[in-house]
């Protein structure tokens, strides 16, 4: 029987990368024009694969809408293959929900024109998430194609020989035991690119390409990908195929598509097909080209991304769902509009921060657009909620306000709120008169009370007059001056997914407070009923967990090293010198000291080289691979000051850190180190719908001196009794240093070039200027392990506040919209269902090994289990399986 060669014409359409978006955009327009011409004039040009995404259609129609009808016809005829995704995302650097929304929107967009390709398509994702098999299954897909994660891919997409599977075809099993067919582009997604149409060149080409493909193929069906990055259409591919059939009669060459190839290859798979498990991140390679260091490239982008994701998935959608219960229409179209702007920043070359500067400037605009839409939804929904919540329990003259905790766990800490206590309209007085009237009016003393008139710990930080305006829904704008009180309120264990009501109340005399300082007498630390935090003489930190008696020392040590790599890969400078904050002076000051909150500011005054030596610029211009670079750091030294605000709450076991610095140094990496005090060979980190377990030690193949890893909300090390969770907001890179199991959290990586296949200067990737990073520490025992993970994830989700009036309402003064009993279940989504007939709650099991009973409730409604596309699967049983992604619909 003949061997069959399936030639799939495609182009890998990075939307933006080594050129700005519009430069690539115009070339996409040219590609579509050529595609239309080939489809209309060449019967041998049968199919084209649109890179597994739909957004190129939008990009083309934006310029040439008159050709929409032709493109739609090609899709409906099955010639132009689109979807199933909206964009080609990076798995690891976008949230779990972003990965799912990319599929939901992509399939919705695909079905506008025809049907999506039934293939999870990850050709150039920088590693593959472990939950891909379960996610594909719950999207109705049974196969995925990918280019990275199993074998190394280096400079300009050159594929190395080392490979950990016998075939390019394999079974891929997830942590929950879901299994799909996996297809590796073992010779990359360009193995059939630019096929010659002359006999001599064709023989040379096919002799090599067929041998390469047969080296890894498990069946007689061979895949040839006719395209590459931004590859122009090969218009004579029909002639090339005809010539190949003449030259190689023992083969059958066809112009094809993935559905045809997959059906054929899956029908003849051998019994000895290998199975790969979990995440695929090239850990069994030399370690230089995992591209994991993109997690720390342009940290400011990662922070903007997490902030925007939180606005959408953790706040706007949740509060809009709450408001829909109160009668407000859920703004599905508005939220999808915001999601599309966010997802347009999620292709791998975009969110990974490995493009030219112009690309990332435009990304910041998209983040801002998405965030502004989300903030609008939050404000409108909070207003609708506040109008329906019963506030009649408060005394006349009180100023009620609602506080929404939309995070996955109860919150303890401070809420900052600005409350209007008086106003003068511009129609009543000129602005200056209005301002002076309010300024001269005496202001009383205030306390904050809950719905039962209990006084809460609070602090009125400022009372001032400022300009304001209202935008009525049925009238012209209303400007005014207002007097506001800026208040900090301390809340304890405010329930998850709830709205609680409080009020600012004027009193004649403030209640007497028995002051109990949590600042140690020597001003060198903080002590609460749960923790003792002390700053050592060398400026490091020690923390004692009073429940367990465990003490960790040498925490919060800053490490600065030279970086002569690029946006993709960290390479330490050849001097191999690490500068530690413990070798430099430090200062301590008390910032706050109340009965509930203590804050110290710890200032480290380091001196570090201003950049790499001049040799690095020569190495960049010669495009010397970073593994062969020899540059050292400059001998010119300059001050580098780090100011860290350490915050501890009386009723919390978390320590919060906020570090600020003005980076005026180039070519370096800054990390903060936390020795875990744990003896363990593995550690855990938040990945995509998974608490992934990773080895602390590298494989025998590994040659890279460092082993960077991805994370979202936390990294954790624990043994049978104790553990340490380090949380973060938008700091996606860490490393576990195995000698003492030190968690090294990357705060900044400054580099001057893009990297990969040429020299692309990126001065803005040096990240010069002011920067603030946020992270946390929590020691735990076995009983509080899952809670510590949830609290770390909740760092990114602030509480939202809305002032209201005293009135009766249909919603209780304090309302929990979603409740659940088990800290092992982490909620990632609360929103209206796609069919508008229910509320969707999604989350996952924080354990890959342990099933558990889960009591989940949404306002007493009835639940059904649905898949990720919200198609009904089964009734809810109350059992959460290991590593399960659970989506429920309540109606």
Active-site positions read 124
Q: What is the C-alpha to C-alpha distance for residues 575 and 188, in angstroms, rounded to an integer?
A: 36
Rounded Cα–Cα distance for residues 221 and 278 (Å): 27
372 CB burial (10 A radius; 0-12, 13-18, 19+): middle
Report whether 667 contacts 751 (CB < 8 A). Answer: yes
Task: Tell me the backbone φ, ψ of residue 234, rounded to 5 degrees.
Answer: -85, 100
d(Cα 580, Cα 565) in Å, to the nearest integer?
A: 21
- Strand duo 445-450 + 455-456: pairing: antiparallel
Q: How far apart are CA 587 and CA 614, in angstroms?
A: 34
Longest dimension (CA), the chain: 99
Q: Are 616 and 631 in contact (CB under 8 A)?
A: yes
Strand partners, 507: 445
**What's the CA gap between 626 and 733, in Å, rounded?**
20
- Name, in order, each residue with C-beta under 8 angstroms of 780's C-beta and a sequence gap of 6 or more: 545, 653, 718, 722, 723, 724, 725, 787, 788
Residue from 785, 532, 774, 510 nearest 644 by CA: 774
What does R_g of the chain's alpha carbons equal in angstroms? 29
Closest among 195, 193, 181, 187 to 216, alpha carbons compared: 187
Tokens of 851: 């099933």
Shortest CA distance to 424 belongs to which of 388, 468, 386, 384? 468
Map residue 207 onto helix, strand or coil. helix
Contacts 24+ apart (CB under 8 A), 241-247: 241/7, 241/44, 241/195, 242/44, 243/196, 243/197, 243/198, 243/199, 243/202, 244/5, 244/195, 244/202, 244/206, 247/199, 247/202, 247/203, 247/206
38: Cβ contacts below 8 Å, ≥ 6 apart = 45, 233, 235
Whole-angstrom distance between the N-terminal and C-terminal Cα of the chain?
56
612, two tokens: 């790499």
Q: Which residues contact 799 (CB under 8 A, 6 or more apart)?
A: 403, 404, 405, 406, 407, 411, 415, 491, 494
CA 574-578-580 angle, to 5 degrees, is: 165
What is the rounded CA–CA span in Å between residue 280 and residue 127?
Answer: 6
Contacts 24+ apart (CB under 8 A), 243-246: 243/196, 243/197, 243/198, 243/199, 243/202, 244/5, 244/195, 244/202, 244/206
Residue 199 in tokens: 């006999």
Whose tokens are 């067919």? That residue is: 181
H or E element at residue 748: strand 742-750
CA distance 717 to 698: 17
Closest CA to 643 of 621, 631, 661: 661
Rounded CA-CA distance 244/654 in Å is 66
Task: Return the closest-CA partner of residue 751 out of 667, 825, 829, 645.
Answer: 667
**Beta pairing partners, 683:** 694
d(CA 381, CA 377): 6
């Amino acid at each position: 029987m003949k061997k069959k060669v399936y030639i799939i014409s495609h182009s890998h359409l990075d939307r933006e990368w080594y050129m700005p978006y519009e430069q690539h955009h115009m070339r996409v327009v040219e590609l579509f024009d050529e595609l239309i011409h080939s489809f209309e004039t060449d019967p041998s040009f049968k199919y084209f694969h649109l890179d597994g995404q739909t957004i190129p259609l939008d990009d083309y129609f934006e310029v040439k809408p008159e050709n929409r009808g032709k493109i739609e016809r090609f899709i409906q005829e099955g010639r132009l293959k689109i979807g199933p995704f909206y964009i080609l995302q990076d798995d690891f650097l976008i949230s779990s929900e972003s990965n799912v929304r990319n599929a939901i929107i992509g399939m919705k967009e695909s079905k506008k024109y025809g049907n999506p390709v039934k293939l999870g398509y990850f050709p150039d994702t920088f590693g593959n998430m472990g939950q891909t098999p379960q996610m594909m299954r719950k999207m109705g897909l049974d196969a995925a194609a990918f280019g990275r994660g199993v074998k190394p891919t280096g400079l300009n997409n050159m594929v190395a020989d080392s490979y950990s599977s016998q075939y390019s075809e394999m079974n891929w099993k997830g942590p929950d035991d879901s299994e799909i067919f996996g297809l590796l582009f073992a010779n990359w997604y360009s193995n059939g690119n630019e096929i010659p149409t002359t006999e001599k060149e064709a023989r040379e080409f096919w002799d090599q390409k067929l041998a390469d493909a047969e080296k890894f193929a498990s069946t007689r069906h061979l895949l040839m990908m006719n395209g590459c990055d931004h590859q122009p259409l090969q218009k004579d591919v029909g002639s090339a195929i005809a010539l190949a059939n003449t030259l190689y009669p023992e083969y059958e060459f066809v112009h094809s598509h993935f559905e045809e190839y997959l059906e054929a290859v899956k029908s003849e798979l051998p019994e000895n097909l290998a199975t790969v498990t979990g995440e695929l991140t090239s850990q069994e390679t030399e370690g230089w080209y995992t591209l994991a260091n993109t997690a720390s490239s342009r940290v400011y982008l990662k922070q903007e991304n997490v902030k925007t994701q939180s606005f959408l998935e953790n706040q706007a959608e949740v509060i809009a769902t709450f408001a829909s219960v109160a009668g407000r229409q859920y703004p599905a179209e508005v939220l999808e509009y915001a999601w599309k702007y966010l997802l347009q920043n999620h292709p791998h070359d975009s969110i990974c921060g490995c493009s030219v500067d112009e690309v990332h400037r435009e990304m910041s605009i998209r983040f801002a657009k998405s965030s502004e839409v989300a903030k609008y939804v939050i404000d409108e929904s909070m207003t609708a909620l506040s109008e329906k919540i019963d506030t009649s329990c408060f005394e006349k003259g009180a100023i009620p306000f609602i506080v929404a905790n939309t995070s996955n766990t109860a919150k303890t800490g401070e809420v900052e709120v600005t409350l209007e206590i008086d106003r003068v309209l511009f129609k009543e007085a000129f602005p200056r008169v209005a301002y002076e009237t309010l300024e001269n009016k005496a202001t009383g003393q205030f306390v904050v009370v809950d719905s039962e008139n209990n006084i809460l710990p609070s602090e009125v930080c400022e009372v001032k007059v400022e300009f304001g305006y209202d935008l009525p829904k049925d009238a012209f704008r209303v400007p005014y001056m207002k007097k506001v009180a800026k208040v900090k309120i301390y809340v304890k264990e405010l329930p998850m997914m709830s709205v609680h009501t409080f009020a600012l109340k004027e009193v004649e005399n403030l209640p007497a407070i028995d002051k109990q300082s949590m600042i140690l007498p020597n001003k060198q630390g903080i002590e609460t009923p749960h923790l003792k935090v002390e700053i050592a003489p060398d400026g490091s930190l020690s923390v004692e967990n009073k429940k367990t008696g465990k003490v960790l020392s040498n925490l919060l040590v800053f490490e600065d090293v030279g970086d002569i790599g690029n946006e993709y890969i960290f390479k330490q400078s050849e001097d191999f010198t690490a500068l530690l904050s413990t070798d430099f002076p430090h200062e301590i000051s008390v910032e706050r000291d109340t009965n509930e909150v203590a804050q110290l500011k710890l200032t480290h005054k380091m001196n570090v080289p201003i950049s790499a030596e001049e040799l690095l610029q020569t190495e960049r211009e010669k495009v010397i691979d970073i593994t062969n670079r020899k540059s050292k750091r400059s001998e010119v030294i300059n001050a580098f000051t780090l100011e860290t605000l350490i915050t501890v709450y009386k009723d919390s076991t978390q320590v919060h850190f906020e570090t600020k610095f003005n980076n005026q140094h180039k070519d370096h990496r800054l990390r903060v180190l936390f020795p875990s005090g744990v003896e363990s060979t593995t550690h855990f980190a938040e990945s995509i719908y998974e608490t992934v377990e990773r080895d602390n030690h590298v494989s025998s193949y590994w040659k890279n001196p460092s082993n960077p890893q991805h994370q979202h909300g936390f990294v954790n090390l624990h043994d049978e009794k104790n553990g340490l969770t380090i949380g973060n907001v938008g700091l996606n890179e860490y490393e576990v240093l195995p000698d003492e199991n030190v968690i090294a959290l990357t705060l900044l990586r400054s580099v001057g070039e893009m990297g990969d296949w040429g020299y692309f200067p990126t001065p803005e990737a040096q990240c010069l200027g002011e920067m603030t990073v946020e992270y946390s520490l929590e020691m735990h025992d076995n009983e509080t392990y899952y809670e510590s993970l949830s609290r770390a994830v909740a760092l990114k989700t602030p509480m939202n506040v809305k002032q209201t009036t005293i009135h009766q309402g249909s919603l209780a003064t304090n309302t929990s919209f979603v409740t659940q009993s088990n800290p092992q279940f982490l909620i990632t989504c609360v929103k209206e269902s796609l069919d508008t007939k229910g509320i969707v709650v999604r989350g996952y099991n924080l354990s890959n090994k342990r099933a558990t009973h889960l009591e989940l409730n949404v306002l007493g409604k009835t639940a059904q289990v649905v898949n990720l596309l919200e198609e009904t699967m089964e009734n809810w049983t109350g059992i959460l399986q290991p590593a399960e992604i659970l989506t429920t619909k309540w109606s």
